Amino acid sequence: MPVQSSDVSTASHPLEPLGAEEIGRASAILREQRDLDPRVRFVSIALQEPPKREVLDYFGRETELPERAAFVVLYDRGHRQTVEAVVSLSLGVVTSWQVLEGVQPSVMLEEFFSTEEITRADPRWQEAMRRRGVTDYALAMIDPWAAGYDIEDPLGRRLIRPLTFVRSREDDNGYARPVEGLVVLVDLDLMEVIDVRDHGVVPFPKQAGNYAPELMLDDDNRPAHAALREDVRPIEITQPEGPSFTVDGHAVSWQKWRLRVGFTPREGLVLHQIGYTDRGRLRPVIYRASLSEMYIPYGDPAPTHRIKNVFDEGEYGVGLLLNPLQLGCDCLGEIRYFDAVVNDQDGQPRTIPNAICMHEEDFGVGWKHTDFRTEKVEVRRSRRLVISCFATVGNYEYGFFWYLYTDGSIQFEVKLSGVISTGAIPVGEQPRFGNLVAPGLYGPNHQHFFNVRLDMQVDGERNSVYEIDAVALPPGPDNPYGNAWVAKKTLLARESEAQRLINPFVGRTWQIVNPSALNELGQPAGYKLVPGENVLPLQREGSQAWDRAQFAYKHLWVTAYEADQMYAAGDYPNQSNKPGGLPEFVKADRFLDDQDVVIWYSFGAHHVVRPEDWPVMPVSYAGFHLKPVSFFDGNPALDMPRSTPACHAGGEEVGEGAREHVAE
């Protein structure tokens, strides 16, 4: 029977993320109606998003909310089964219960932390540590890496593969002392170590690798914080009249942009219903934008490193690993935070405070022209709205940043930082598959791949996608002087044609247009995807990357919209040996012209480690832009107001003559 509860959803919109009460209620309904054994664990509880048509019909009309439901992934440890359930929060009933065979859900936090204690207690692991002179096992820092797929692994078992590092004290950076050659395999159902392989002792590197000032030592063995820079003066960001954005629940209005901030435990930050108000009309651009997968393959065949092939989203869950952000450190200025609510393995809600940060930034000159004949200057500042979060995935930090600009463009950027996953090598030797960062310590070659799913809605639901290349014309009547080139447009009409690679030599972009929405010049309204730096995986056929992460081997994929096609590597990449997701989606070879289409963009960060990446990495960046093309009739930032001149030079206010020049 339905669970009776006084808890009524306070959601004001169909896409509002689940609140703490809703998560608790979903798990309570499941326990009662399915009589759950304590060994059935809650992997994730997220909003079951209503059908797109219902959301679009609700948008702007604000009629009765569609049914409120939770999508729940469970793992039955007793029967070694993965279960997907849907719980109607509106009705208080379980509406769907499906047992999935042959798949493993993502690693749960309780498994992550239990792995450390299980490994420490194993006699074979302890013996391997004693061979390296380690007897205080509490100093061991054990990183549980997703097991991936290895032909030698036992089938049908839930596995994880921890790697070991050693601290010199509790708050020491253990990545300075990797236990090279020691590989452990843990069965998470039995909660026991089932295999320990020691490929030989490599001496620990001797240098510490600490980065907190109180733990660092200078060349004279003194605390290094005494030598911190003294010429860094404060920068304060103030907005005396407050920020330019307004927030209503998760609905955001900024300048002419309108959107909803969303969240899921797997994807982390999600943006919904991004639109731009143009001449009094809200014009949709993207229905849903999210990170659909991450994949990090290592390029070192050594036993400790060849197994490092992880899907950080599909095997762990980015949203579950978000940081509580801090003002003045992670975010600067007039900040609006959004909490994220996730679940523990008992199905109880857990709040990550300040998980998502929103603020606006000055972004330099937006546009400028000096009429050299009249000496009159017009210049406008650019601003951008920043919506961001940071996730800590073991040793790495990933910042995920969405930017909306006053000129109608959109940017997605990943910021990579944290500590490299290290290897040890005898002092005096040079690693072949990585670079030294300290004597006896190296960083293996590796890559980071990301895929962003963009459910496009450029001025409506029916869009087409074109590939645009700059093409030089051959010599002849059309090119008599050898200087002529054109922008060649190629329609990507079917899914079999819409699996593409970047080509910077011809300035390749991809344009998403609405054939039925024309600007005043008769051109279809569109947005173009502009690639940033990018690479391809270097792993060959037969490798884990080839078998499991086919999405990364093409930069652009276009598919016809299907509500259940959400993740580039499939729903359950954990321990999978099949290229799920996009390669499966496109087998249907669906028609794409003037259809409801989804853009999937894969981009990679190529990491040949530098000494400068140690002991903690300076941020590196990867991402892409979306820029309007014929979406507007002219420069949409033309109406930005002139800035109030308040400039300083050399610490002194500029003179009136200069002030007048700046103001014009």
Residue pair 250/17 in contact (Cβ under 8 Å)? The answer is yes
Name the H helices within 325-376: none
Q: Which two tokens stand for residue 490?
A: 């190629």
How many helices, marked H, and strands, marked E, lie in the chain?
7, 33
By the 10 Å C-beta count (0-12 exposed, 13-18 middle, 19+ buried), 475 is classed as: exposed
**Which of 188, 193, 300 minimizes the C-alpha distance to 574?**
188
User: What distances in angstroms separate CA 113 from CA 40, 120, 160, 202, 466, one per listed residue?
Assistant: 18, 12, 12, 27, 47
According to DSSP, the β-strands at 81-88 and 69-76 are antiparallel
The whole-angstrom separation of Cα 227 and Cα 230 is 8
In 334-409, which ranges are E strands?
336-343, 349-371, 376-393, 396-405
Instruction: Tell me the three state secondary structure of residue 496.
Output: coil
Q: How many CB atoms lie within 10 A of CB 309?
A: 25
Q: What is the DSSP string of 396-424?
A: EEEEEEEEEETTS-EEEEEEEEE----EE
Spatial neighbors of 287 by CB under 8 A, at least 6 apart, are 52, 272, 273, 455, 456, 457, 461
According to DSSP, the β-strands at 257-264 and 251-254 are antiparallel
Phi, psi for residue 150 in degrees, rounded to 5: -130, 135
The whole-angstrom separation of Cα 288 and Cα 77 is 34
Instruction: Tell me the three state secondary structure of residue 579.
Output: coil
Q: Is the dihedral of CA 514, 520, 522, 523 positive or negative?
A: negative
Q: Which two tokens stand for residue 88?
A: 């109607």
Q: Which two tokens stand for residue 286?
A: 């993207």
Residues 28-31: contacts with CB within 8 Å, 24+ apart? Answer: 28/3, 28/347, 29/2, 29/3, 29/87, 29/89, 29/92, 29/93, 29/94, 30/72, 30/74, 30/85, 30/87, 30/94, 30/347, 31/347
By the 10 Å C-beta count (0-12 exposed, 13-18 middle, 19+ buried), 512 is classed as: buried
Q: How many CB atoms lie within 10 A of CB 486?
A: 12
Catalytic residue among 189, 312, 407, 571: 312
**Which of 83, 2, 69 minimizes the C-alpha distance to 40?**
83
Told to judge if 396 belongs to the known catalytic residues of this protein, a careful annotator would answer: yes
Q: What does the radius of gyration of the chain's CA atoms come to, in whole angstroms?
A: 27
Catalytic residue among 396, 405, 442, 553: 396
Told to judge if 312 belongs to the known catalytic residues of this protein, a careful annotator would answer: yes
Phi, psi for residue 153 in degrees, rounded to 5: -75, 145
The whole-angstrom separation of Cα 212 and Cα 175 is 14
Strand order in the sheet with 182-187: 140-146, 159-166, 182-187, 192-198
Q: Which residues are annotated as catalytic? A: 312, 396
